[in-house]
Amino acid sequence: MSDSRYDIQEESLIRSDISEYLKRHENKDLLRLLTCGSVDDGKSTLIGRLLYDSHMIYEDQLEKLAKDSKVWGTTDDGFDPALLTDGLKAEREQGITIDVAYRYFSTDKRKFIIADCPGHEQYTRNMATGASNCDLAVILIDARYGVISQTRRHSFICSLLGIKHVVVAVNKMDLVGWSEEKYDAIMHDYNSFVARLNFSDIHFIPMSALRGDNVVEHSRNLAWYDGPTFLHHLESLNISTDRNLIDMRLPVQYVLHPNLDFRGFSGTLASGVLRTGDAVASLPSRRESRIRKIYGPDGEVQEAFSPMAITVTLEDEIDVSRGNMLVPVNNMPHIGNEFEAMVVWMHENPAREGSSYQVKHGCSMVPGVLSKVRYKVDVNTTKRDKVHDKEEVITDSLNLNEIGRCHFTLHRPIAFDPYDRNRATGAFIIVDRLTNVTIGAGMIVDRIVSRSGRKPAPVSQNIVKSTSLVSASDRRALMGQQGVTIWLTGLSASGKSTIAQQLEKQLVEQGRPCYILDGDNVRHGLNRDLGFSMEDRQENIRRIAEVAALMTDAGVIVITAFISPYRQDRQSAREVVGDEAFIEVFVDAPLEVCEQRDPKGLYKKARAGEIRQFTGVSDVYEVPANAEITLPTASLSPAGAADKVIEDLKNRGIIS
């Protein structure tokens, strides 16, 4: 490798203490990232420049690169960094990236795996493959053209695949005169677009990958930029909090039985933390036991955490086989043979409704049927493809490189989590039953099916949905209003129930039929059998949504007051009720304000550890991305909040 102070120190350590050298590199943090963007935005050039300027290229590679640059190079200075990753002949002939190319390198702070992904829409499946295991996405934007359709497409796919960290590399700044105004305009356009995506961390860096400005060293040409360089940001990015250490999931890959005295269950811990003595259940049988011992690569340990490869023994002789999953007794995933997922189709033969496939989920291979293609997503606009009036799906198939939401019915139950909560147990691949070829990849988004006409056939074929002789317009004329569900969501003590009561009072005074479904009241009756695990919270919301849909259909104004902390659950409720009849109201009160109010003393108990999985303290609350109404209750009175909702109902024509 080329000379540097770092190289000299490493060589000295190798000579003096090879064990220490290996230990140092073994224990370094690993960051997986991908580069994506439009064709000729400079993805491969950026990676090549990063490796070159950080002295991560061997001398023989440099010599070969110099020779290849004379033949295939696209630059005028005789050195083309893109050739380090564009190794296919077709890539060099066209000057583009076709397949995913991986590069591995290390600095004194961190190890890296870089996936260089293609930019063409026809290679969407390649890009999705490269992004599936990455922690960070580098979105390159040509400063001359700004945010274009490929930028939006790749950002959407990265969000869909659960990537939370994004670096927006505004490249080729040298071609726009290092303009700060142009950079600011691109920042504004990109932030406006990604507001509805699920990124938690977005960082912008202006650069010139070809010249090396702001890649490894700060650029004098960009004196107005005071942020980190590209390499510095990669080395300092904190990804330790991205791991799910709450939901322990151990898929069993192998039953280890070397002799009569030992029976262990081996696998890679997908998420969470496992300790000796923990109570666990084997899914899908739900048989319970406790962890007796845990063995890691170096022997017995008292606890293990994701993504360690371990073998565990149990205190009881229960049936556990390959494909089963060990989970905490009080924190189980969903168990069922039906779910919905976003699917990326990867084969020339289209996916069709009613077709049978093999679904590989974790260590299990289960036959199943693609029951319904709910809708397709235009990856360039992120909009759904639907018929405008009845919201029916345009097609019943997915073609190569297309993405859509599908409903699957499996031949036997599996244990799964939503992908946005647990990537390991929420992902699956689709395999052709005849050729055994991987033809699709899916991310589980929901286990709830919409009430629309796209609903698959019920489990019992003897159940038939009845129709009414009374139309929606008849009910509207009778009630003098349109039925609607007003979904109040927010932290405990944010003011949801108080606003709901005030809103109900004002509507009744105006002669409007309405009814409150309050979280506490419902849990005393309809949902008294549910706890507060993630699964029970989802079932709680599902039942309420079904009740609200029936009352809304009858022409009643339904007011719900639930914490409903997860975006996916609220989206599911919207789909059950119907988008046109669902109004999401975010009761926005800061956590400190809610804790000061604390009328039931729940926050105090949660802080003392007396209440587990309490939203805002020991469990998350996902703020609505696009609520129809936001009520800042730290400064807005309940009556004022109710007035704001009623005004919105009038503007929508729901009440006169």
For 326-337, the pLDDT digits (tens) are: 999 988 888 888
**Element spanning 486, H or E:** strand 484-489
- Flag whether pLDDT at 270 surpasses 70: yes
- CATH (residue range 476-651): 3.40.50.300
- Flag whether pLDDT at 210 surpasses 90: no
Rounded mean pLDDT, 491-520: 90
- CA 380 to chain centroid: 19
Rounded Cα–Cα distance for residues 595 and 602 (Å): 9
The answer to which of 198-207, 266-275, 369-378, 383-392 has the lowest mean pLDDT is: 383-392
Rounded Cα–Cα distance for residues 228 and 205 (Å): 8
How many helices (H) does the chain have, and how many strands (E)? Answer: 18, 30
Rounded mean pLDDT, 377-389: 65
Sign of the torsion angle spanned by Cα atoms 624, 640, 573, 492: positive
Model pLDDT, residue 464? 54
Model pLDDT, residue 566? 82
Whether omega before 251 lies within 30 degrees of 0, making that bond cis, reads no
450: helix, strand or coil? coil
Model pLDDT, residue 547? 93
Rounded Cα–Cα distance for residues 22 and 539 (Å): 50
10 Å CB burial of residue 58 (0-12, 13-18, 19+) is: exposed
Rounded Cα–Cα distance for residues 25 and 22 (Å): 5
- Flag whether pLDDT at 139 surpasses 80: yes
Rounded Cα–Cα distance for residues 42 and 202 (Å): 19
Which distant-in-sequence residues (6+ apart) come within 8 Å of 547 by Cβ?
A: 517, 526
Rounded Cα–Cα distance for residues 78 and 70 (Å): 6
With left for phi above 0 and alpha for psi between -120 and 50, is residue 328 left, alpha or beta?
beta
Nearest to 490 by CA among 576, 561, 568: 561
Which distant-in-sequence residues (6+ apart) come within 8 Å of 155 by Cβ?
A: 137, 139, 166, 190, 193, 194, 197, 199
Residue type, 598: D
> What is the C-alpha radius of gyration for the chain, rounded to an integer number of angstroms?
28
Rounded Cα–Cα distance for residues 10 and 447 (Å): 52
> Kind of pairing, strands 325-328 and 364-378?
unpaired
pLDDT in tens, 593-623: 999 998 888 888 888 777 766 888 877 788 8
Rounded mean pLDDT, 421-439: 91
CB contact burial 270-296 (16+ within 10 A = b; e otherwise)? bbbbbebebebbbbbeeeebebeebbe
Rounded Cα–Cα distance for residues 52 and 223 (Å): 23
Rounded Cα–Cα distance for residues 127 and 527 (Å): 43
Model pLDDT, residue 226? 92
| Higher per-residue confidence, 600 vs 450 | 600
Model pLDDT, residue 580? 86
Rounded Cα–Cα distance for residues 649 and 638 (Å): 17
Model pLDDT, residue 3? 43
Model pLDDT, residue 162? 86
- Flag whether pLDDT at 127 surpasses 90: no
Q: How confident is the model at residue 179 (pLDDT cuts 50, 70, 90)?
A: very high
**What residues form DSSP beta bridges with 288?**
281
- Identify each DSSP E strand in 379-446 by its residue range: 383-385, 397-398, 403-416, 427-431, 438-446
- CA 625 to chain centroid: 14
- CATH (residue range 250-328): 2.40.30.10
Rounded Cα–Cα distance for residues 408 and 427 (Å): 13
Model pLDDT, residue 90? 42
| Higher per-residue confidence, 213 vs 466 | 213
Model pLDDT, residue 87? 47
Which distant-in-sequence residues (6+ apart) come within 8 Å of 618 by Cβ?
A: 606, 611, 612
Assign domain 5-242 to a CATH class.
alpha beta
Q: How confident is the model at residue 29 (pLDDT cuts 50, 70, 90)?
A: confident
- CA 271 to chain centroid: 15
Model pLDDT, residue 338? 87
The answer to which of 43-52, 258-267, 384-393 has the lowest mean pLDDT is: 384-393
| Higher per-residue confidence, 552 vs 520 | 552
Model pLDDT, residue 96? 42
Model pLDDT, residue 65? 59
Q: For residue 397, what are its two tokens?
A: 């198939």
Model pLDDT, residue 519? 74
Q: State the chain's mean pLDDT as an integer.
A: 82
Rounded Cα–Cα distance for residues 544 and 555 (Å): 17
pTM strictly above 0.85: no
Rounded mean pLDDT, 111-116: 85
Phi then psi for 126, rounded to 5 degrees? -65, -40
Q: For residue 631, what are its two tokens?
A: 């009520």
Model pLDDT, residue 77? 55
| Higher per-residue confidence, 208 vs 655 | 208
Share of residues in the chain with pLDDT > 70 (%): 82
- Flag whether pLDDT at 486 surpasses 80: yes
Q: Count other C-beta atoms under 10 Å from residue 509's C-beta.
A: 8
| 476-651 matches 334-446 in CATH topology | no
- Flag whether pLDDT at 199 surpasses 80: yes
Kindly list the domain boundaries of the chain, sorted by start residue.
Answer: 5-242, 250-328, 334-446, 476-651
Q: Count other C-beta atoms under 10 Å from residue 78's C-beta.
A: 9
User: Torsion over CA of 70, 71, 73 and 76, rounded to 10 degrees?
Assistant: 40
Model pLDDT, residue 223? 92
**What residues form DSSP beta bridges with 357?**
368
The answer to which of 168-182, 510-524, 640-654 has the lowest mean pLDDT is: 510-524
- Flag whether pLDDT at 490 surpasses 90: yes
**Element spanning 190, H or E:** helix 180-193
| Higher per-residue confidence, 95 vs 530 | 530
Distance between first and last Cα of the chain: 76
- CA 268 to chain centroid: 21
Q: How confident is the model at residue 106 (pLDDT cuts 50, 70, 90)?
A: confident
Rounded mean pLDDT, 285-312: 92
> Kind of pairing, strands 273-275 and 303-305?
antiparallel
CB contact burial 198-235 (16+ within 10 A = b; e otherwise)? eeeebebbbbbbbbbbbbbebbebbeebeebbbbbbbb
Rounded Cα–Cα distance for residues 13 and 371 (Å): 60
CATH architecture of 334-446: Beta Barrel (2.40)
Model pLDDT, residue 21? 63
Nearest to 36 by CA among 175, 141, 187, 108: 141
Rounded mean pLDDT, 347-357: 90
Q: How confident is the model at residue 637 (pLDDT cuts 50, 70, 90)?
A: very high
Q: How confident is the model at residue 395 (pLDDT cuts 50, 70, 90)?
A: low
pLDDT in tens, 80-102: 555 555 443 443 344 444 456 77
Model pLDDT, residue 459? 46
pLDDT in tens, 235-269: 999 887 788 888 899 999 999 988 888 999 999 99
Q: How confident is the model at residue 648 (pLDDT cuts 50, 70, 90)?
A: very high
Rounded mean pLDDT, 60-66: 59
| Higher per-residue confidence, 154 vs 98 | 154
